[in-house]
């Protein structure tokens, strides 16, 4: 725009209203916006339907989604600026409406682009939606300030507010400008880190724990590089961070010990592979479940009842943890029962083994095995052991099904399951 003062622009628009060219420009603007809407619809119909994310690359998903979201304002902005240049070349004078429309369309495109990148990097939440509104308002507010010519006086006023950090003097404008630049750079770094993480998750040649470690290291490295790269761009000396580094060290020494310990413990768990995703582990003989997530600070353990326990990584490193599927995913399921002393054990033992083999979840190797574990007051104690290859699905159904099969078979073969008896004798006294 040749004029930055919004009042001058409004006066020019008011003058253009009384000229015939203004209405032709208005008609052309409506036609351009309608044509842009039609082109966006055609582009959306031409693009293939979104396949599941695992069936196509993350970059393709990002490109197709971004193209669909930005198509209308992008087409409209390009056509409006092109028409403005063409009419100016032809000698038209009343083009203030096109200048205003092009600037607003440019701001709209930038807002949509930033919001779309945020949605790709972060999960959708109430906080994200609020942040999206903040970005939209901030960009539109800055566009209005730039058009009205109020941006320069505002910048000068913010530059007069000076803060002293160590040996570095920082004004309020530098802080705000630096914050926006750093946030934008970190956003790009987080997006690249998400692409790397998605690529690593699809690589089957690398262990799951190692993929998690590489993803975290890549994310931390990209964030560090982005921070060190963005700060000098806004005139902030990197050596100023030494003050904050000292404060961070003091915080780690006092209040952040647990957080740092959990962070380091998380890397230890991932690197030594003592606990992996999908392992069935038991803690304190009270919690048994499958590892569903290993994060920076904690590990999520999902029990067979659906309850998720959040265990600090430091606890898993410093305490005894029973990993039921560390080297072998197969788990022995014991089934204890009792038969009477009159039962033929040579007949009972093979019958129990055969019943254990009939269950669909029981593996053939190791084979089911029955053994006598002792004697009680009422009968012979027997332990039937079967092995399953999928303990993460639970073992309660295996015990229940085989116990029902045993009860039915014992009734058919006349095998007695003893229960406590008491004899009551009446003694007649003279």
Task: State pLDDT tens for residues 273-311.
Answer: 778 887 888 887 778 888 888 877 888 888 877 788 888
Query: Which of 37-51, 58-72, 152-166, 372-386 shows the lowest mean pLDDT across its residues?
Result: 58-72
| Contact between residue 100 and residue 144 where contact means Cβ atoms under 8 Å apart | no
Query: Which of 170-174, 220-224, 356-360 shows the lowest mean pLDDT across its residues?
Result: 170-174
Asked if residue 141 has pLDDT above 60, the reply is yes
In angstroms, the CA 87 to CA 79 distance is: 12
| Contact between residue 298 and residue 262 where contact means Cβ atoms under 8 Å apart | yes
What is the structure's pLDDT at 322?
A: 82
Over 64-130, what HEC string results? HHHHHHHHHHHHHHHHHHHHHHHHHHHCCCCCHHHHHHHHHHHHHHHHHHHHHHHHHHCCCCHHHHH
Tell me if the pTM is above 0.85: no
Dihedral of CA 56/62/68/69: which sign? positive
Query: Which of 112-121, 331-340, 368-377 shows the lowest mean pLDDT across its residues?
Result: 112-121
Reported as a pLDDT band with limits 50, 70 and 90, residue 174 is confident
Q: What's the token pair of residue 7?
A: 């009042």
What is the structure's pLDDT at 2?
A: 39
Query: Which of 24-28, 156-160, 343-347 shows the lowest mean pLDDT across its residues?
Result: 156-160
Distance of CA 388 to the CA centre of its chain: 32
| Contact between residue 350 and residue 306 where contact means Cβ atoms under 8 Å apart | no
| Contact between residue 382 and residue 410 where contact means Cβ atoms under 8 Å apart | no
Per-residue pLDDT, averaged over 242-269, amounts to 69
- Which residues, at least 6 apart from 184, have a Cβ–Cβ distance to it below 8 Å? 230
Cis check for the bond before 191: say yes or no (omega within 30 of 0): no
Helix (H, G, I), strand (E, B) or coil at 287: strand
| Contact between residue 299 and residue 281 where contact means Cβ atoms under 8 Å apart | no
What is the structure's pLDDT at 41?
A: 79
Query: Which of 64-78, 79-93, 305-319, 382-396 shows the lowest mean pLDDT across its residues?
Result: 64-78
Q: At what angle do helices 126-148 and 151-159 cross, to 10 degrees?
A: 110
Reported as a pLDDT band with limits 50, 70 and 90, residue 148 is low
Per-residue pLDDT, averaged over 57-84, amounts to 71
Name, of 2-6, 45-49, 351-355, the range with top average pLDDT. Answer: 351-355
Reported as a pLDDT band with limits 50, 70 and 90, residue 146 is low
Asked if residue 167 has pLDDT above 50, the reply is yes
Give the containing element (helix H, strand E) for 384.
strand 380-388
Per-residue pLDDT, averaged over 308-324, amounts to 84
What is the structure's pLDDT at 58?
A: 54
Q: What Å distances lie between residue 24 and 62, 84, 145, 279, CA to CA?
A: 39, 13, 29, 71
- Go through 87-114 and write b for each residue having 16 or more CB atoms within 10 A of its CB, e for each that does not: beeeebebbbbbbbbbbbbbbbbbbbeb
Closest to 88 measured CA to CA, from 17, 21, 20: 21
Per-residue pLDDT, averaged over 201-221, amounts to 73
Q: At what angle do helices 126-148 and 6-17 cross, to 10 degrees?
A: 70
Q: For the chain, list the domains and their CATH numbers.
A: 6-149 (no CATH), 174-255 (1.10.287), 263-323 (2.30.30.60), 331-413 (3.30.70.100)
The residues that bridge with 369 in the sheet, in sequence order, are 385
Helix (H, G, I), strand (E, B) or coil at 169: strand
More confident residue, 428 or 299: 299
| Contact between residue 184 and residue 43 where contact means Cβ atoms under 8 Å apart | no
| Contact between residue 109 and residue 71 where contact means Cβ atoms under 8 Å apart | no
Reported as a pLDDT band with limits 50, 70 and 90, residue 395 is confident
C-alpha neighbours within 13 Å on the C-beta side of residue 152: 5
What is the structure's pLDDT at 54?
A: 45
DSSP string, 251-278: HHHHTSHHHHHHHHHHHHHHHHTSS-TT
More confident residue, 287 or 235: 287
Per-residue pLDDT, averaged over 373-399, amounts to 84
What is the structure's pLDDT at 17?
A: 66
Name, of 27-41, 47-61, 102-116, 374-388, the range with top average pLDDT. Answer: 374-388
Q: Say which residue the tokens 């030494």 belong to.
A: 242
Per-residue pLDDT, averaged over 53-58, amounts to 49
More confident residue, 163 or 82: 82
Average pLDDT over the chain reads: 75
In angstroms, the CA 126 to CA 136 distance is: 16
10 Å CB burial of residue 316 (0-12, 13-18, 19+) is: buried
pLDDT tens readout for residues 240-254: 556 556 666 666 566
10 Å CB burial of residue 406 (0-12, 13-18, 19+) is: buried
Asked if residue 135 has pLDDT above 50, the reply is yes
């Amino acid at each position: 725009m040749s004029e930055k003062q919004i009042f001058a622009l409004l006066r020019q628009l008011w003058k253009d209203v009384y000229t015939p060219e203004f209405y032709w420009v208005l008609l052309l603007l409506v036609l351009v916006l309608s044509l842009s809407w039609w082109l966006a619809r055609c582009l959306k119909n031409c693009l293939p339907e979104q396949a599941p994310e695992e069936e196509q690359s993350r970059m393709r998903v990002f490109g197709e989604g971004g193209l669909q979201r930005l198509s209308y304002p992008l087409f409209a902005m390009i056509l409006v600026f092109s028409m403005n240049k063409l009419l100016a070349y032809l000698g038209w004078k009343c083009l203030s409406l096109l200048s205003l429309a092009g600037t607003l369309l440019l701001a709209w495109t930038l807002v949509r682009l930033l919001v779309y990148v945020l949605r790709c990097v972060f999960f959708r939440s109430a906080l994200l939606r609020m942040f999206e509104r903040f970005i939209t308002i901030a960009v539109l507010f800055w566009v209005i300030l730039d058009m009205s010519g109020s941006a320069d006086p505002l910048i000068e006023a913010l530059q007069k507010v000076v803060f002293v950090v160590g040996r570095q003097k920082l004004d309020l404008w530098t802080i705000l400008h630096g914050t926006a630049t750093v946030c934008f750079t970190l956003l790009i770094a987080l997006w690249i880190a998400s692409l790397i993480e998605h690529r690593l998750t699809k690589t089957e040649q690398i262990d799951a724990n190692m993929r998690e470690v590489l993803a975290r290291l890549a994310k931390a490295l990209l964030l560090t590089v982005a921070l060190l790269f963005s700060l000098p761009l806004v005139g902030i000396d990197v050596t100023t961070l030494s003050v904050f580094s000292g404060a961070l060290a003091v915080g780690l020494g006092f209040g952040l010990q647990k957080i740092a310990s959990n962070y380091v413990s998380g890397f230890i768990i991932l690197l030594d592979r003592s606990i992996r995703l999908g392992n069935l582990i038991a803690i304190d003989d009270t919690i048994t479940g499958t590892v569903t997530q290993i994060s920076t600070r904690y590990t999520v353990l999902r029990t067979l009842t659906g309850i998720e326990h959040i265990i600090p990584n430091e606890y898993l490193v410093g305490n005894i943890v029973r990993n039921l599927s560390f080297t072998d995913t197969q788990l022995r399921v014991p089934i204890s029962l009792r038969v009477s002393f009159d039962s033929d054990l040579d007949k009972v033992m093979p019958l129990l083994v055969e019943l254990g083999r009939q269950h669909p979840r029981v593996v053939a190797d190791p084979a089911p095995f029955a053994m006598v574990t002792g004697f009680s007051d009422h009968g012979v104690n027997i332990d039937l052991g079967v092995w399953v290859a999928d303990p993460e699905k639970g073992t309660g159904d295996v015990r229940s099904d085989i116990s029902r099969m045993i009860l039915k078979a014992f009734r058919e073969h006349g095998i007695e399951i003893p229960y406590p008896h008491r004899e009551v004798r009446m003694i007649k006294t003279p």
